[in-house]
Amino acid sequence: MNLDARIRRIKAFAVSPEAERELRRELSERLGELEPLGAENVDSGTSLRSYVYTLPDDPDEHLVRRTVQDLNREFSRPSFRAHIYSWGRHVDVFKGVGYPSDVYRAYEMERRLKGADLWVSHTRQPTNSPGRLPIWSHPFSSGEWVVVHNGDVSSFGANMSFLESAGFRSFVGTDSEVIAFLLDHLTSSEGLPVEEACRVLVNPFEDEGDDGSFQGMTVRFRGARLDGPFTVVAGHSDGRDVYMAVLADRFKFRPVVVGEDENYVYAASEEAQIRAVSPNARVWTLEPGSFMLASSSRGILIPGRRRVDLFVGPQGSIARPEPVGRVVDASELGYQQINGILRECVRKGIREVSLLNVRGQRYIGVGVEGTLYVRIYGTPGNCLANLNESIDFEVFGSVQDDVGDVMHGGSVVVHGDARDVLGQALQGGTVLVRGNAGNRCGIQMREYSEKRPYLIVGGRVDDYLGEYMAGGVIVVLGLGYEGTDVPVTGRFVGTGIVGGRIYVRGLVPRSHIGYLPPRRDVLQYLRGLHLDGELDSATFSRLSSCEHLDPETLSRHLPPDLLRRVMKLFEHKYFRRLLVEERHLTDQELKELGPVLRLFGMKFSMGREIERVLEDVFTVIRPVEAKPQRPAVSEEG
C-alpha cells in the first residue's frame, strides 16, 4: 500500500495474448483510455501472465468497481480467460503460485522494494479452491483494500448472498476474497468508518459489551459478519492515510500477534516472525473477537486488547543470564538438528544445554528422553516440550502456541508470555509463565497415578481457561493487574470441567465462569414470570439490574419453585454446577501450592511478592462433584 501513489492501476491475469487484447478493448470501451504498462510476471508456475494498465482519465470509482465485476464475470465463462485482481490507486498486488521465493523472483521484487507504507503477504493454499492458478492466490484486493486471511469462514454463503445483493457478481470462490469485498463494500458503499467495518466483521458475541449500542449495526449488517476461523490482516487507504487492520475471530481459532517498535507496526501468525525483523518490538496477541487498527500517520488506534501497557509489561525487562553447559547457536538449525543435539547431550551425559538465537523452530524437545536442563534464548516455535517427560526448559523470551501439550513430567519456565493453547492435556510436571497466556490455556488438563500437573501464569489469560479440565492445578496470579478494572481471565473459565482446580488471584466476574445461557434469554424468562404474576416487581427489578444472571445470583433471589423453573435454561445433560469460592488458601492448599509458587518467585526473582500473594484472596473454581482429592503431592522444582 502506498499513500503517494495517485494513479489508478488495473492489474489482470489473462490466459493468452488474445484474451488480454479482448479484455483491454472491453476495459477501454467502458472506462476510457487505457495505458498498458506491459506484462508484469513472466513465470509464476502457470501459463497465466499478469498485465498492468493505468487509467489517465480517472473514471468514477463506482463505475470501475461495477466494470471489474461485470468483466470478471464475462471473462470467467464459459471458460476462464481473464481476471482483474486489483484496481486501486494505493494498492499494488503481486500474486503467484509457488514458493514465496519463486513469486518474488517472477515479479522481480528486488527492483520494486523502493518503499511502501504497508506490506502484506501470505503463503497458503486458499480455502476451498483448487489453488492451481494465481487468481486464487493471496492477497485479495477490492478497491483500496487488500486482505490476507488464515482460516475457513463458515459464514461464507451468507456473506456471498449479502454481497450479491450489493451488486458483486463475480467470485473466484474462496472466502478470503469475500472478506476483501465486504470491507470494500462497507467502507465505500455503506459509508462505515474503517473501525466500524472491522467491528461488524469480527462479529462480537451478543452478550459482549451489552450496552445495546452496537446491536442495531450487527442486525443491519448481519450479512457482513464473519463466523468460523479467521485471522485477517488487511491494508487500506482512504487517500489521506494508510490503515492496517488485524482481525481475530470470536473463538480465536487462528494464531495472531501484533507488535510495535519506534518505526513500525507488525502483525504475524507467530512472535518469532516479528522478532526476526524487530528483536525488541512490543508484542501482544489479540483478544478473541477483537481487532487491531493502526494508521501510518497516527500509529496504533485500537490495540485489540484492553490495557496493552500492562500486557506487554515484562517484555522489556527479561534478564538474559549467561549461557550454561554446552552452547549451541541454533540460528541456522532446523528442529530435527536441534533435537538431535539434545539427544546427543543426553547420550554423552551432558546435563545442561543453551540454545542461542532460537527463531521459531517448532517441536523443540519432542522425542528427546532423559534428564536435561535446556536454556532457550530467543523465541521457540509452536509445540515446545510436547509429550515432555523429564526435560527442564527455561526460555528467556516468549513462547508461542501449544507449549507443553500432553506433557507428563519435567518443566517449562517462560520468562516472557505464552500464546494460545498452553498446557493442553498437561498431565504432569510444572509450567511457569512469568507473563500472560492466551486463549484455551490448560484445557483438558488431567492427573493420573502419582502425576499431577501445575500450571502457573503470572499475568492474565484469555478465554476458555481450563476448559474440559479433568485434573491438575491452574493458578493465575494477575501480577501487575492489581487495582485495575481488567479481569485477569477471559470468559468461559472452566467450562466442561470434571476435575482439578483453578485458582485465580482476586475476584473473577461470575459471568466469566462456565458457560451460561444468554443474559437476555434469562431476563426474558424472568420478565415472563413477572407478567404471569409469579414473580413480584421488587425481585424482578432487582434481578434485572444484576449484571450477571448466573445460578448463584438467581438462587439468592428466587424462591425454590421459580429457581427450578429458570434453571431449565442452564441445565443440560452435561451440566455440572461449579463450586466457586472467594477465599484465602487453606493450610492444606498452602502446603501443596506453596512450593510451586515459591519456585515461581525464585525463577522470576519475585520471592517477596509471592509471599504476599500467598496471603491474598483467590477465586477457587472446581466441579461440585469433583473426584475425591488425593493427599497433596509436593513437587520440588
Partner 1 sequence: MRLYSKSVSIEGRALSYLRQMAGAEGRVPGEPPIVSMGSTAPPFVEDPQSVLDHIVSDGAQVTRPSIDPYREPVETSIYLFDGDVRLSMPMGISSLNDLPMELVETVVRTCYRMGVIADLSGLGAEPSSVAGREDYVISGADGVGSTAARNVQVIITGRDDVDPALVRRVVSSGRRPVARVPATDEVELYTALASSGFKAIVIDEDLEADREVELEVAVSLCDKALRSSGTGTKALRYTVNLIATSLRLRGSGDVFKLLGLGAEVVLLKDCWRLGIDLQRESNPRVVAERLEHLLLGMQKELKLLAGAAGASSLHSTVCGNRELFRAVELDDRTLSVLGVKAAGSW
Q: Residue holding cell 479433568? A: 470
Q: In what order do the strands lie in the sheet with 282-285?
A: 265-268, 257-260, 282-285
Comparison of 225 and 510: residue with beta carbon closer to partner 1: 225
Judge whether 325 and 352 are in contact, CB under 8 Å. Answer: yes
Comparison of 119 and 575: residue with beta carbon closer to partner 1: 575
Site string for partner 1, 553-582 (x = CB under 8 A): ---------------xx-xxxxx-------
Comparison of 145 and 373: residue with beta carbon closer to partner 1: 145
Q: What is the DSSP string of 260-285?
A: E-SS-EEEESSHHHHHHH-TT-EEEE
Q: Euclidean distance between the first and final Cα of the chain, in Å? A: 51
User: Closest approach of Cβ 215 to partner 1, in Å?
Assistant: 6
Backbone angles phi, psi at 163, to 5 degrees: -65, -35
Binding region for partner 1 (CB under 8 A) out of 105-113, 202-210, 449-457, 555-563:
202-210
Separation CA 380–CA 396 (nearest Å): 10
CA atoms within 13 A on the CB side of 98: 15
Where in 452-471 is the site for partner 1 (CB under 8 A)?
Answer: 464, 467-468
Separation CA 14–CA 101 (nearest Å): 23
Comparing C-alpha atoms, which of 225, 292, 206 is closest to residue 511? 206
Where in 489-508 is the site for partner 1 (CB under 8 A)?
Answer: 492, 495-496
Judge whether 117 and 295 are in contact, CB under 8 Å. Answer: no
C-alpha cell at 108: 522481480
Is residue 181 close enough to count as binding partner 1 by CB under 8 A? no
Binding region for partner 1 (CB under 8 A) out of 225-233, 300-308, 366-374, 550-558:
225-233
Comparing C-alpha atoms, which of 305, 342, 313, 306 is closest to residue 326? 342
Judge whether 629 and 500 are in contact, CB under 8 Å. Answer: no
User: Closest approach of Cβ 255 to partner 1, in Å?
Assistant: 14
- How many other C-beta atoms lie within 10 A of the C-beta of residue 43? 13
User: Closest approach of Cβ 620 to partner 1, in Å?
Assistant: 20
Binding region for partner 1 (CB under 8 A) out of 99-107, 201-209, 271-279, 477-485:
201-209
Pairing of strands 242-248, 257-260: unpaired
User: Closest approach of Cβ 367 to partner 1, in Å?
Assistant: 24
Comparison of 322 and 574: residue with beta carbon closer to partner 1: 574
- Return the HEC string of 20-31: HHHHHHHHHHHH
User: Closest approach of Cβ 573 to partner 1, in Å?
Assistant: 5
Is residue 529 close enough to count as binding partner 1 by CB under 8 A? yes
- Return the HEC string of 415-480: CCCCCCCCCCCCCCCEEEECCCCCCCCCCCCCCECCECCEEEECCCCCCCCCCCCEEEEEEECCCC
Binding region for partner 1 (CB under 8 A) out of 90-98, 293-301, 529-537, 577-585:
529-537
Q: Considering only residues 126, 151, 404, 466, which one is a binding residue for partner 1 as defined by CB under 8 A?
A: 151
Residue 421: what residue type?
A: V
Binding region for partner 1 (CB under 8 A) out of 203-211, 298-306, 312-320, 367-375:
203-211
Q: Considering only residues 2, 54, 76, 218, which one is a binding residue for partner 1 as defined by CB under 8 A?
A: 218
Comparison of 247 and 407: residue with beta carbon closer to partner 1: 247
Residue 350 is given by DSSP the state: -
User: Closest approach of Cβ 610 to partner 1, in Å?
Assistant: 33
Is residue 167 close enough to count as binding partner 1 by CB under 8 A? yes
Site string for partner 1, 238-257 (x = CB under 8 A): ------------xx-x----
Residue 339: what residue type?
A: N
User: Closest approach of Cβ 54 to partner 1, in Å?
Assistant: 29
Judge whether 577 and 552 are in contact, CB under 8 Å. Answer: no
Binding region for partner 1 (CB under 8 A) out of 89-97, 184-192, 600-608, 629-637:
184-192
Separation CA 363–CA 490 (nearest Å): 28
User: Closest approach of Cβ 525 to partner 1, in Å?
Assistant: 5
Where in 105-134 is the site for partner 1 (CB under 8 A)?
Answer: 127-129
Q: Which residues bind partner 1 (CB under 8 A)?
A: 127-129, 151-158, 160-162, 164-167, 173, 185, 189-190, 203, 205-206, 215-216, 218-223, 225, 227-229, 250-251, 253, 464, 467-468, 492, 495-496, 515, 518, 520-521, 524-525, 527-529, 531-532, 568-569, 571-575
